[in-house]
Amino acid sequence: MKILTAAQTREADAYTIQEEGISSAELMERAAKAFTGWFENKFQPGGEVHIFCGPGNNGGDGLAVARLLHERNYNVQPYLVGDISKASDDFETNLERLPQDLQTIHVEQEAAIPNLIGKGSCVIDALFGTGLNRPVTGLYAKVLEALNSSGVTVTSIDIPSGLYTDSQTPEDGAIVRAQYTVSFELPKLAFLLPQHEPFVGEWHVVSIGLSQQFISEVNTNYFCTKQEDVQRLLKLRKKFSHKGLYGHALLLCGGYGKMGAAVLAARACLRSGVGLLTVQVPQAGYPILQTAVPEAMTLTDRNRKHLSELPQDIQKYDVIGTGPGIGTERVTKTAIGQLLATSSHPTVIDADAINLIAASDKLKAQLYKKKLIFTPHPKEFERLVGKVKNDYDRLQHLREFCMEYGCYVVLKGSHTAVGTPEGKVYFNTTGNSGMATGGTGDVLTGIITALVGQQYTLEEACLLGVYVHGLAADLAFPSLGDIAMTASDVIDHLPKAFLHLTQLMP
Ligand SMILES: NC(=O)C1=CN([C@@H]2O[C@H](COP(=O)(O)OP(=O)(O)OC[C@H]3O[C@@H](n4cnc5c(N)ncnc54)[C@H](O)[C@@H]3O)[C@@H](O)[C@H]2O)[C@@H](O)CC1
Ligand SMILES: [K+]
């Protein structure tokens, strides 16, 4: 699914209006109906619904929603905020369409801002949408601050008012803190960035029938990975298949005191369909690996505690995964250096392997034109690219790093972002807060390594791997919740996750 900029959304609106020969007010009516449908499912009629409308089309949506909810017996109070003498045409149209018995209140100065504290009311925020073109200050900021401090449940139409759609909101701009955001047709880039969680709340997308042709043809660097996207990638197994068809993976993982990381990566790799798995561990890890993961073949490093060498017959493997639990000893750095210098294998690089590379210009110089997938969390990513200023800056660094080195980066987070060598970014849509626990990253390394071994392209392996990792956690959630969930629980739910995807295939 594509993510459009505010400007592209305006173009999509205009294109749809022209293509279908409808008026912009008719498109607004569709948007208002779609929002109202969502709202009716969420909130019962009963309490007061205060609707704050700004002077643009977002405010027009608010007025149309006021009419529709009024028709459905909601107790609605619309407010017109600020100077509405230059309001948009569709705002005016919907103001005129309000029924006689629905009185608006005009908030022209601070003293007129209603006090909603302790009223337990419900607010619909229709002050500004994608047309916001400067920080919100003055009277509008006062209204947003009053809503934020009132404790009422705010639902934003299209986007929380004050939040920029696709660039950093200036610090002096007020932003409403919505509990729910209902976006038209597609999610906005702003929703996917962790820094905006307090403003966006839980977001939903409702369709308003924007032109699919426009959306499919428009160019964008940002995408959301949905179930239908990964189902297109999934390869079903043939009846006459054998383990040789699904790749032989090598994991260089684990160290003294961190053998669990190797066990988790190995178990996840096996649960993700790899044909054969060999794990090389320091000597101290041999009995652990052999006992915990009997399906894996185990090689031992000559070093007792740390990874220090590559296996001699490294050519025979189809894919390598490294990083989890390896530590940052000098001998390990040498081994990672050898791996980068001598191997042409597709390689998944995680955790301390990233830290070792980030700390060495010599190792970094070896990264060009290889088949590499990095799987950093934000701190590891900053070690690679330097300190970032905000989430947009992080995205920019992500794209630049991938384009410079021709690699993939799986930047882990609530909406894990997969960066590609072409400078595209794919945000994942599965997963939950139960995954914020040690070891889930090791699991992801195992999954992606297994998928690359099965001849998925690096891009497919990243997208499918990240999706299925989050899906497994989502399937674990109903019985385990997020507090008690562990990385092993995610592995245990991988079978269900793969089944879920294959059974739903057309
Ligand atoms: N264009 C269309 O056909 C459709 C638009 N829709 C709605 O329209 C919204 C976009 O509408 P608009 O483009 O009219 O823009 P907005 O309603 O977001 O706001 C634009 C208005 O606010 C003013 N403004 C912008 N920033 C301000 C600030 N910081 N302080 C004070 N005033 C400010 C502008 O001068 C303009 O008058 C969408 O988010 C969506 O809610 C939907 O109804 C779907 C159809
Ligand atoms: K809004």
Nearest CA residue ID for atom 33, ligand 1:
132
The amino acid present at 254, given as its one-letter code, is: G
Instruction: Round to whole Å and give the CA distance between 176 and 77.
Output: 19
Distance 199 CA to ligand 2 centre (A): 11
Cβ–ligand 1 contact at 210 (below 6 Å): no
Give distance in angstroms: CA of 123 to centre of ligand 1: 19
- For ligand 1, is residue 372 a contact (CB within 6 Å)? no
Q: Is 134 in the pocket of ligand 1 (CB under 6 A)?
A: yes
* pLDDT surpassing 70 at residue 460: yes
Give 299-312 pLDDT, tens digit per residue. Answer: 999 999 999 999 99
Residue type, 399: R
DSSP 374-441: E---HHHHHHHH---SSHHHHHHHHHHHHHHHT-EEEE-STT-EEE-TTS-EEEE----GGG-STTHH
Mean pLDDT of the chain: 96
Cα 194 to Cα 262: distance, rounded to the nearest angstrom = 29
pLDDT over 90 percentage in the chain: 95
Confidence of residue 506 (pLDDT cuts 50, 70, 90): low
Ligand nearest to the CA of 173: 1
Give the closest residue (by CA) to ligand 1 atom 21.
Answer: 56
Supply 489's token pair: 């629980």
Give the model's pLDDT for residue 119. Answer: 78
Instruction: Read off the pLDDT of residues 255-283 as tens digits, 9 standing for 90 and up.
Output: 999 999 999 999 999 999 999 999 999 99
Q: Is the CB of 29 under 6 A from ligand 1?
A: no
Measured from the alpha carbon of residue 155, the closest ligand is 2
Name 452's Cβ contacts closer than 8 Å, sequence gap at least 6.
247, 249, 318, 319, 346, 348, 373, 458, 461
User: What are the structure tokens assigned to 379, written together?
Assistant: 């701190």
The confidence band for 439, taking pLDDT boundaries of 50, 70 and 90, is: very high
pLDDT digits (tens, 9 = 90+) for 323-350: 999 999 999 999 999 999 999 999 999 9
Q: Are strands 222-225 and 276-281 parallel, antiparallel or unpaired?
A: unpaired
Residues of the chain with pLDDT > 70, as a percent, come to 99
205 lines ligand 1 (CB under 6 A): no
Residue ranges of the binding site for (6S)-NADPHX: 57-61, 129-135, 140, 158, 261, 325, 377, 442
Task: Tell me the ligand closest to 56's alpha carbon.
Answer: 1
Q: Is the pLDDT of residue 244 over 90?
A: no
Nearest ligand atom owner, CA of 124: 2
Which residues contact residue 150 at a Cβ distance below 8 angstroms, ignoring those fewer than 6 apart?
115, 116, 117, 119, 123
* 256 phi-psi bin (left φ>0, alpha ψ -120 to 50, beta other): beta
Q: How distant, in Å, are the alpha carbons of 73, 165, 268, 289, 401 from that of 130?
A: 29, 6, 42, 54, 30
pLDDT tens digits along 387-422: 999 999 999 999 999 999 999 999 999 999 999 999
**Is the pLDDT score of 241 beyond 90?**
no
- Of 22, 30, 130, the one to substitute when testing ligand 1's pocket (max ligand atoms within 8 A of C-beta) is 130
C-alpha 506 chain-centroid distance: 25
Please name the residue that has the structure tokens 């009846």: 239
* Ligand 2 mean position, distance from CA 161 (Å): 4
Q: What is the pLDDT of residue 505?
A: 60
Q: 74-103 pLDDT, tens per residue?
A: 999 999 999 999 999 999 999 999 999 999
**Residue 88 CB contacts under 8 Å (≥ 6 apart), including other chains:** 55, 56, 57, 59, 60
Q: What angle do CA 277, 278, 282 make, to 5 degrees?
A: 145
Q: Please determine, for residue 253, whether its predicted confidence score (pLDDT) is greater than 80.
A: yes
CB-CB contact of 77 with 49 (8 Å):
yes
**Ligand 2 center–CA 158 separation, angstroms:** 6
Atom number of ligand 1 nearest to Cα 157:
41
Annotated binding site for K(+): 58, 125, 161
Residue 4 CB less than 6 A away from ligand 1: no
pLDDT digits (tens, 9 = 90+) for 466-492: 999 999 999 999 999 999 999 999 999
pLDDT at 118: 78
pLDDT of residue 245: 82
Q: What angle do CA 94, 95, 98 make, to 5 degrees?
A: 85
The alpha carbon of 125 and the centre of ligand 2 are apart by a number of angstroms equal to 5
Residue 250 token pair: 């090598």
- Measured CA distances, 140 to 85, 134, 161, 245 (Å): 16, 12, 9, 62
Q: How many CB atoms lie within 10 A of CB 340?
A: 19
CA of 92 to the centre of ligand 1 (A): 13
Smallest-distance ligand from the CA of 133: 1
Q: Ligand 1 centroid vs 59 CA: distance in angstroms? A: 7
Instruction: Please work out whether the CB of residue 128 comes within 6 Å of at least one atom of ligand 1.
Output: yes
**Domains of the chain, start order:** 6-220 (3.40.50.10260), 229-234+249-503 (3.40.1190.20)
What atom of ligand 1 comes closest to residue 60's alpha carbon?
43
- Whether 242 shows a pLDDT value over 80: the answer reads no
Asked if residue 301 has its Cβ within 6 Å of ligand 1, the reply is: no
ipTM attached to this prediction: 0.98
What's the confidence (pLDDT) of residue 238? 82
Verify whether ligand 1 is closer than 6 Å to residue 129 (CB atom). yes
For residue 422 the two structure tokens come to 């072409």
**Ligand 1 contact via 88 beta carbon (within 6 Å):** yes
Question: Which residues sit opposite 349 in a β-bridge?
Answer: 322, 374
Atom 44 of ligand 1 has which residue's CA nearest to it? 28
Q: Tens digits of per-residue pLDDT, 30-60?
A: 999 999 999 999 999 988 999 999 999 999 9
- Amino acid 117: pLDDT: 82
Q: What is the pTM of this model?
A: 0.95
DSSP 8-state assignment for residue 169: P
